């Protein structure tokens, strides 16, 4: 069973979002990381650029798969998780601790439209 922390919100593309101060941290869910297998590379987005909701923002790769990260909420990239540069496997180890990037001046309404843990769980069941 995939773990789905209660306090986060989720997209149907299997990203999670966590609000902290004025930032929105984005990562991939347990379901996404286990589908990919051993992660060997995370492409981090450029800092300072604004990305739309549903825009392809980065890529996570395993040896035999590549998955596009679909930005779940509009915002400006202000931080990327540089630990992933040398150790992309951290996403496998703890996908909820190891975010990919953080957004500022993000769209509150996009955030509100994300799924809560229960709904995301139900969505996974339906797949």
Partner 1 sequence: MSESLLIDISKLGRKAYCFPVLDLPRGFEQALPEIPQELLRQKPARLPEVSELDVVRHFTRLSNQAYGVDNGSYPLGSCTMKYNPKLSEQIAKLEEFTSIHPLQDISTVQGCLSVMYNLLEDLSSITGMRWGSLQPCAGAHGEYTGLKMIRSYFLKRGDVDRNKVLVPVSAHGTNPASAVINGFEVVTVASDSEGLVDMDDLRSKLDSSVAALMLTNPNTLGLFEKNILQISSLVHEIGALLYYDGANLNAIMGMATPGDMGFDVIHLNLHKTFSTPHGGGGPGSGPVMVNEKLVPFLPKPDIELTDSGYVYNWELPDSIGKVSMFWGNFLVLVRAYVYILRMGSEGIRAASMHAVLNANYLKSRLKDSFEIPYAKGCMHEFVVSCDNLKKRYGITAQDIAKGLIDCGYHPPTMYFPSLVGEALMFEPTESESVETLDDFADTLIALLERAKADPAYLKGCPYTTPVGRLDEVKAVKEPNLHY
Partner 2 sequence: MVYPYIPHTDEDRKKMLDAIGVASIEELYEGLTEELMLSDSVPISHGRSEDEVLRMITSIAQRNSKGIPFLGCGCYDHLIPSTVQALANLPSFVTAYTPYQAEMSQGLLQAIYEFQSMICEITGMDVSNASLYDGANAASEAASLMIHAKRKATTVLVSSTIHPFALQVLTTWATGAGHRIRLVSEHLGVADFSQLDAEITDDVAGLIVQSPNRYGFLEDYSGIAQRLHERGCLFAISSDLLSLAMQKSPAEWDADIAVGDTQALGIPLGFGGPSCGYMAVTKALMRKIPGRIVGATVDAQGRKGYTLTLQAREQHIKREHATSNVCSNQALAALMTTIHLSSLGWGGMVEAAQQSYVKAHYLAYHLAQLPGISLIWDSPFWCEFPLVFSDAKRMRKFLQELRNEDIFAGVRLSSLTRKPQDELVLLVAVTEKRSREELELYLAAARRVMK
- The span of 12-20, 56-64, 72-80, 93-101 binding partner 1 (CB under 8 A) equals 56-64
Q: In Å, how far are 5, 119, 124 from 45, measured between CA atoms?
A: 25, 28, 27
Minimum CB–partner distance for residue 68 and partner 2 (Å): 5
CA–CA separation, 9 and 116 (whole Å): 5
- The span of 7-15, 53-61, 82-90, 104-112 binding partner 2 (CB under 8 A) equals 53-61
Any bridge partners for residue 77, and if so which?
103
CA–CA separation, 65 and 73 (whole Å): 24
62 binds partner 2 (CB under 8 A): yes
CA–CA separation, 91 and 81 (whole Å): 11
Q: Which is nearer to partner 2, 5 or 41 (CB)?
A: 41
Q: Give the footprint of partner 2 on this chain (CB under 8 A).
A: 40-41, 43, 46, 49, 56, 59, 61-66, 68
């Amino acid at each position: 069973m995939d773990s789905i922390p209660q306090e986060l919100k989720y997209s149907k593309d299997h990203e999670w979002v966590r609000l902290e101060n004025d930032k929105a941290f984005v990562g991939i869910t347990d379901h996404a990381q286990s589908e990919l297998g051993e992660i060997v590379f995370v492409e981090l987005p450029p800092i300072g650029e604004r990305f739309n909701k549903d825009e392809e923002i980065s890529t996570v790769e395993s040896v035999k798969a590549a998955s596009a990260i679909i930005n779940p909420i509009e915002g400006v990239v202000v931080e990327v998780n540089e630990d992933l540069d040398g150790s992309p496997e951290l996403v496998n180890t703890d996908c909820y601790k190891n975010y990919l990037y953080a957004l500022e001046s993000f769209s509150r309404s996009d955030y509100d439209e994300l799924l809560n843990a229960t709904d995301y769980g139900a969505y996974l069941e339906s797949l």
